[in-house]
Amino acid sequence: MTPPAGAEVAALDQAAARRLLELWNDQQSAYVAHRDLRFDAMADVLRLHCPDDPAILDLACGPGAISDRMLAQFPRATAVAVDYDPILLEVARRALDRYTARVEVHDVDLVADGWEEVLTGRRVDAVLTSTALHWLAPEQLLRVYTTAARLLPAGGVLLNADHLRYDESAPTLRDIAGRHDAQVQQQTFAAGALTYSAWYAEAARHPELASLAAQRERRFADRPPQAPASLEFHLAALRAAGFAEVGTVWQYLDDYVVFARR
Protein backbone atom coordinates (compact mmCIF):
# COMPACT_ATOMS: atom_id res chain seq x y z
CA MET A 1 0.00 0.00 0.00
CA THR A 2 1.44 3.35 -1.02
CA PRO A 3 1.62 5.81 1.93
CA PRO A 4 -0.33 9.05 1.54
CA ALA A 5 1.40 11.99 -0.07
CA GLY A 6 3.24 14.06 2.47
CA ALA A 7 3.83 11.16 4.87
CA GLU A 8 7.33 10.93 6.26
CA VAL A 9 9.57 8.62 4.23
CA ALA A 10 12.44 6.71 5.81
CA ALA A 11 15.90 6.57 4.33
CA LEU A 12 16.39 4.06 1.53
CA ASP A 13 17.54 1.16 3.64
CA GLN A 14 17.09 -2.47 2.62
CA ALA A 15 13.48 -2.58 3.86
CA ALA A 16 12.51 0.53 1.89
CA ALA A 17 14.26 -0.75 -1.22
CA ARG A 18 12.52 -4.09 -0.99
CA ARG A 19 9.19 -2.30 -0.66
CA LEU A 20 9.98 -0.42 -3.89
CA LEU A 21 10.97 -3.70 -5.53
CA GLU A 22 7.61 -5.22 -4.56
CA LEU A 23 5.79 -2.14 -5.85
CA TRP A 24 7.77 -2.53 -9.09
CA ASN A 25 6.71 -6.18 -9.38
CA ASP A 26 3.08 -5.17 -8.86
CA GLN A 27 3.42 -2.39 -11.43
CA GLN A 28 5.02 -4.66 -14.01
CA SER A 29 2.30 -7.27 -13.55
CA ALA A 30 -0.10 -4.72 -15.00
CA TYR A 31 1.90 -4.51 -18.21
CA VAL A 32 2.86 -8.21 -18.42
CA ALA A 33 0.07 -10.73 -17.87
CA HIS A 34 1.12 -13.84 -15.95
CA ARG A 35 4.53 -12.27 -15.40
CA ASP A 36 5.54 -14.77 -12.73
CA LEU A 37 5.25 -17.57 -15.30
CA ARG A 38 8.04 -15.92 -17.29
CA PHE A 39 10.36 -16.28 -14.33
CA ASP A 40 9.17 -19.81 -13.63
CA ALA A 41 10.17 -20.77 -17.18
CA MET A 42 13.59 -19.16 -16.73
CA ALA A 43 14.10 -20.99 -13.42
CA ASP A 44 13.14 -24.31 -14.99
CA VAL A 45 15.76 -23.84 -17.71
CA LEU A 46 18.42 -23.05 -15.11
CA ARG A 47 17.40 -25.99 -12.94
CA LEU A 48 17.31 -28.52 -15.77
CA HIS A 49 20.22 -27.33 -17.90
CA CYS A 50 22.73 -25.28 -15.90
CA PRO A 51 25.06 -26.18 -13.01
CA ASP A 52 23.47 -26.16 -9.55
CA ASP A 53 25.62 -23.11 -8.77
CA PRO A 54 24.73 -21.02 -11.84
CA ALA A 55 26.57 -17.77 -12.44
CA ILE A 56 23.95 -15.37 -13.78
CA LEU A 57 24.31 -12.14 -15.72
CA ASP A 58 21.15 -10.07 -15.19
CA LEU A 59 21.05 -7.67 -18.15
CA ALA A 60 19.19 -4.37 -17.66
CA CYS A 61 18.29 -5.61 -14.19
CA GLY A 62 16.01 -2.74 -13.14
CA PRO A 63 15.45 -2.87 -9.38
CA GLY A 64 16.65 -6.47 -9.24
CA ALA A 65 13.54 -8.54 -9.95
CA ILE A 66 15.25 -11.41 -11.80
CA SER A 67 18.28 -11.59 -9.52
CA ASP A 68 16.04 -11.57 -6.46
CA ARG A 69 14.02 -14.52 -7.72
CA MET A 70 16.92 -16.61 -8.95
CA LEU A 71 19.14 -16.06 -5.92
CA ALA A 72 16.23 -17.04 -3.67
CA GLN A 73 15.46 -20.18 -5.66
CA PHE A 74 19.05 -21.29 -6.20
CA PRO A 75 20.97 -21.00 -2.91
CA ARG A 76 24.33 -21.63 -4.64
CA ALA A 77 23.73 -19.18 -7.49
CA THR A 78 25.62 -15.91 -7.95
CA ALA A 79 24.58 -12.92 -10.01
CA VAL A 80 26.06 -9.85 -11.64
CA ALA A 81 23.24 -7.37 -12.22
CA VAL A 82 23.78 -4.43 -14.58
CA ASP A 83 21.67 -1.43 -15.56
CA TYR A 84 22.04 2.18 -16.72
CA ASP A 85 19.14 3.78 -14.85
CA PRO A 86 20.67 5.32 -11.69
CA ILE A 87 17.41 5.17 -9.74
CA LEU A 88 16.80 1.51 -10.49
CA LEU A 89 20.45 0.70 -9.77
CA GLU A 90 20.26 2.24 -6.31
CA VAL A 91 17.08 0.32 -5.50
CA ALA A 92 18.68 -2.90 -6.76
CA ARG A 93 21.84 -2.37 -4.67
CA ARG A 94 19.85 -1.94 -1.47
CA ALA A 95 17.13 -4.52 -2.24
CA LEU A 96 19.68 -7.25 -3.03
CA ASP A 97 21.84 -6.56 0.04
CA ARG A 98 20.36 -9.64 1.71
CA TYR A 99 22.34 -11.86 -0.66
CA THR A 100 25.65 -10.28 0.44
CA ALA A 101 28.60 -11.64 -1.57
CA ARG A 102 26.40 -13.65 -3.95
CA VAL A 103 25.44 -10.59 -5.99
CA GLU A 104 27.08 -7.50 -7.46
CA VAL A 105 25.26 -4.56 -9.02
CA HIS A 106 27.06 -2.45 -11.64
CA ASP A 107 26.36 0.72 -13.58
CA VAL A 108 26.67 -0.43 -17.22
CA ASP A 109 25.53 1.09 -20.51
CA LEU A 110 24.74 -1.76 -22.91
CA VAL A 111 25.00 0.65 -25.86
CA ALA A 112 28.63 1.52 -25.06
CA ASP A 113 31.56 -0.46 -26.40
CA GLY A 114 33.26 -2.64 -23.81
CA TRP A 115 30.34 -2.87 -21.37
CA GLU A 116 31.25 -6.53 -20.82
CA GLU A 117 34.55 -5.59 -19.16
CA VAL A 118 32.78 -5.60 -15.79
CA LEU A 119 32.72 -9.40 -16.19
CA THR A 120 36.40 -9.87 -16.98
CA GLY A 121 37.61 -13.11 -15.44
CA ARG A 122 34.14 -14.18 -14.36
CA ARG A 123 32.22 -17.30 -15.30
CA VAL A 124 28.79 -16.74 -16.87
CA ASP A 125 26.42 -19.69 -17.25
CA ALA A 126 23.23 -17.81 -18.06
CA VAL A 127 22.28 -14.35 -19.34
CA LEU A 128 18.78 -13.34 -18.24
CA THR A 129 16.77 -10.24 -19.04
CA SER A 130 13.12 -9.15 -18.88
CA THR A 131 11.14 -6.30 -20.46
CA ALA A 132 14.26 -4.31 -21.22
CA LEU A 133 16.04 -4.96 -24.50
CA HIS A 134 13.17 -3.50 -26.55
CA TRP A 135 14.74 -0.11 -25.73
CA LEU A 136 17.66 -1.01 -28.01
CA ALA A 137 17.74 -0.29 -31.74
CA PRO A 138 18.06 -3.43 -33.90
CA GLU A 139 21.79 -2.98 -34.52
CA GLN A 140 22.36 -2.36 -30.78
CA LEU A 141 20.40 -5.48 -29.90
CA LEU A 142 22.50 -7.57 -32.28
CA ARG A 143 25.69 -6.24 -30.67
CA VAL A 144 24.41 -7.09 -27.19
CA TYR A 145 23.47 -10.60 -28.31
CA THR A 146 26.90 -11.03 -29.94
CA THR A 147 28.67 -9.91 -26.79
CA ALA A 148 26.52 -12.21 -24.67
CA ALA A 149 27.42 -15.13 -26.93
CA ARG A 150 31.12 -14.38 -26.42
CA LEU A 151 30.68 -14.31 -22.66
CA LEU A 152 28.96 -17.68 -22.48
CA PRO A 153 30.72 -21.05 -22.62
CA ALA A 154 29.52 -23.88 -24.85
CA GLY A 155 26.13 -24.89 -23.48
CA GLY A 156 25.52 -21.53 -21.77
CA VAL A 157 22.08 -20.00 -22.27
CA LEU A 158 20.44 -16.64 -22.84
CA LEU A 159 16.79 -16.03 -21.89
CA ASN A 160 15.04 -12.82 -22.93
CA ALA A 161 11.46 -12.24 -21.72
CA ASP A 162 9.59 -9.48 -23.51
CA HIS A 163 6.59 -8.44 -25.55
CA LEU A 164 7.27 -9.27 -29.21
CA ARG A 165 4.31 -7.66 -30.89
CA TYR A 166 2.27 -9.16 -33.70
CA ASP A 167 2.56 -7.20 -36.94
CA GLU A 168 0.07 -6.48 -39.72
CA SER A 169 0.36 -10.08 -40.98
CA ALA A 170 -1.59 -11.23 -37.89
CA PRO A 171 -4.30 -8.58 -37.41
CA THR A 172 -6.64 -10.75 -35.35
CA LEU A 173 -3.93 -11.83 -32.92
CA ARG A 174 -2.64 -8.27 -32.71
CA ASP A 175 -6.13 -7.05 -31.82
CA ILE A 176 -6.69 -9.77 -29.22
CA ALA A 177 -3.31 -9.15 -27.60
CA GLY A 178 -3.86 -5.40 -27.49
CA ARG A 179 -7.32 -5.70 -25.94
CA HIS A 180 -6.04 -8.24 -23.43
CA ASP A 181 -3.23 -5.86 -22.39
CA ALA A 182 -5.76 -3.07 -21.87
CA GLN A 183 -7.99 -5.30 -19.72
CA VAL A 184 -5.12 -6.53 -17.54
CA GLN A 185 -3.89 -2.99 -16.98
CA GLN A 186 -7.35 -1.74 -16.08
CA GLN A 187 -7.89 -4.55 -13.57
CA THR A 188 -4.43 -4.36 -12.02
CA PHE A 189 -4.40 -0.59 -11.63
CA ALA A 190 -7.91 -0.73 -10.15
CA ALA A 191 -6.58 -3.21 -7.58
CA GLY A 192 -4.00 -0.64 -6.45
CA ALA A 193 -0.88 -1.21 -8.56
CA LEU A 194 1.10 1.89 -9.51
CA THR A 195 1.59 2.94 -13.10
CA TYR A 196 5.13 3.12 -14.48
CA SER A 197 5.34 6.89 -13.97
CA ALA A 198 3.68 6.69 -10.56
CA TRP A 199 6.31 4.18 -9.43
CA TYR A 200 9.06 6.69 -10.24
CA ALA A 201 7.11 9.37 -8.39
CA GLU A 202 6.94 7.09 -5.36
CA ALA A 203 10.66 6.34 -5.63
CA ALA A 204 11.39 10.08 -5.78
CA ARG A 205 9.88 10.52 -2.31
CA HIS A 206 13.17 9.06 -1.04
CA PRO A 207 15.77 11.86 -1.11
CA GLU A 208 18.54 9.45 -2.14
CA LEU A 209 16.58 8.58 -5.28
CA ALA A 210 15.17 12.03 -5.99
CA SER A 211 18.73 13.33 -6.25
CA LEU A 212 19.33 10.91 -9.13
CA ALA A 213 16.40 12.07 -11.27
CA ALA A 214 18.37 14.68 -13.23
CA GLN A 215 21.13 12.18 -13.98
CA ARG A 216 18.54 9.68 -15.21
CA GLU A 217 16.96 12.30 -17.48
CA ARG A 218 20.34 13.21 -19.00
CA ARG A 219 21.27 9.59 -19.63
CA PHE A 220 18.11 8.79 -21.58
CA ALA A 221 17.44 12.16 -23.23
CA ASP A 222 18.70 11.00 -26.63
CA ARG A 223 17.29 7.44 -26.51
CA PRO A 224 13.76 7.45 -27.89
CA PRO A 225 11.55 4.33 -27.75
CA GLN A 226 12.21 1.87 -30.54
CA ALA A 227 9.73 0.12 -32.81
CA PRO A 228 9.15 -3.39 -31.42
CA ALA A 229 11.22 -6.12 -33.05
CA SER A 230 9.48 -9.35 -34.03
CA LEU A 231 10.12 -12.80 -32.66
CA GLU A 232 11.63 -13.72 -36.03
CA PHE A 233 14.10 -10.84 -35.76
CA HIS A 234 15.22 -11.92 -32.28
CA LEU A 235 15.73 -15.53 -33.38
CA ALA A 236 17.64 -14.46 -36.50
CA ALA A 237 19.79 -12.02 -34.49
CA LEU A 238 20.64 -14.73 -31.96
CA ARG A 239 21.72 -17.09 -34.72
CA ALA A 240 23.81 -14.34 -36.31
CA ALA A 241 25.36 -13.62 -32.91
CA GLY A 242 26.72 -17.16 -32.75
CA PHE A 243 24.17 -19.15 -30.77
CA ALA A 244 23.82 -22.77 -31.86
CA GLU A 245 20.19 -23.32 -30.87
CA VAL A 246 17.38 -20.79 -30.60
CA GLY A 247 13.67 -20.97 -29.87
CA THR A 248 11.09 -20.08 -27.24
CA VAL A 249 10.42 -21.67 -23.86
CA TRP A 250 7.21 -19.78 -22.99
CA GLN A 251 4.52 -17.75 -24.72
CA TYR A 252 1.29 -16.05 -23.73
CA LEU A 253 -0.24 -14.18 -26.68
CA ASP A 254 2.55 -11.80 -27.79
CA ASP A 255 4.63 -12.21 -24.64
CA TYR A 256 7.57 -14.61 -24.96
CA VAL A 257 10.62 -15.99 -23.27
CA VAL A 258 13.17 -16.38 -26.04
CA PHE A 259 15.87 -19.03 -25.56
CA ALA A 260 19.35 -19.33 -27.04
CA ARG A 261 22.05 -21.90 -26.32
CA ARG A 262 25.69 -21.23 -27.08
Q: How does DSSP classify residue 115?
A: G
Total domains in the fold of the chain: 1
Q: Which of 194, 165, 169 is nearest to 180 (CA)?
A: 165
* Spatial contact of 12 and 90, defined as CB atoms under 8 Å apart: yes
User: Which CATH number characterizes residue 199's domain?
Assistant: 3.40.50.150
For the chain, the first-to-last Cα distance in angstroms comes to 43
Reported residue count of the chain is: 262
Mean pLDDT of the chain: 95
pLDDT 10s digits, 35-74:
999 999 999 999 999 999 999 999 999 999 999 999 999 9
Q: Is residue 228 part of a domain?
A: yes
Angle between helices 196-203 and 14-31 (to 10 degrees): 170
* Spatial contact of 206 and 16, defined as CB atoms under 8 Å apart: yes
In sequence order, the β-bridge partners of residue 81 are 58, 105
pLDDT 10s digits, 231-251:
999 999 999 999 999 999 999
pLDDT band at 256 (very low <50, low <70, confident <90, very high): very high
Q: Is residue 5 part of a domain?
A: no
Q: Is residue 9 part of a domain?
A: no
State the DSSP string of 126-143. EEEEES-GGGS-HHHHHH
Per cent of the chain over pLDDT 90 is 93
Give the predicted TM-score (pTM) of the model.
0.94
* Spatial contact of 156 and 124, defined as CB atoms under 8 Å apart: yes
The confidence score (pLDDT) of residue 48 equals: 98
* Spatial contact of 39 and 66, defined as CB atoms under 8 Å apart: yes
Which residues, in sequence order, are CB contacts of 31 under 8 Å at separation 6+? 131, 181, 184, 185, 196
Query: Phi/psi of residue 165, each to 5°?
Result: -65, 145
The Cβ-side half-sphere exposure at 46, using a 13 Å CA radius, reads 31
Q: Is residue 2 part of a domain?
A: no
The side-by-side arrangement of strands in the sheet containing 55-58 is 103-107, 78-83, 55-58, 126-130, 157-163, 255-261, 245-252
Check whether 6 has a pLDDT greater than 80.
no
* Spatial contact of 98 and 233, defined as CB atoms under 8 Å apart: no
Q: Tally Cβ neighbours within 10 Å of residue 76.
A: 10
Q: Is residue 74 part of a domain?
A: yes
Q: Is residue 1 part of a domain?
A: no
pLDDT 10s digits, 59-112:
999 999 999 999 999 999 999 999 999 999 999 999 999 999 999 999 999 999
Pairing state of beta strands 255-261 and 245-252? antiparallel
Q: Is residue 8 part of a domain?
A: no
Check whether 3 has a pLDDT greater than 50.
no
Q: How far is CA 153 from the centre of its chain?
A: 22
Residue 189 domain boundaries: 14-261
Q: Is residue 121 part of a domain?
A: yes
In sequence order, the β-bridge partners of residue 251 are 256
pLDDT band at 227 (very low <50, low <70, confident <90, very high): confident
CA angle 24, 27, 32 (to 5 degrees): 115
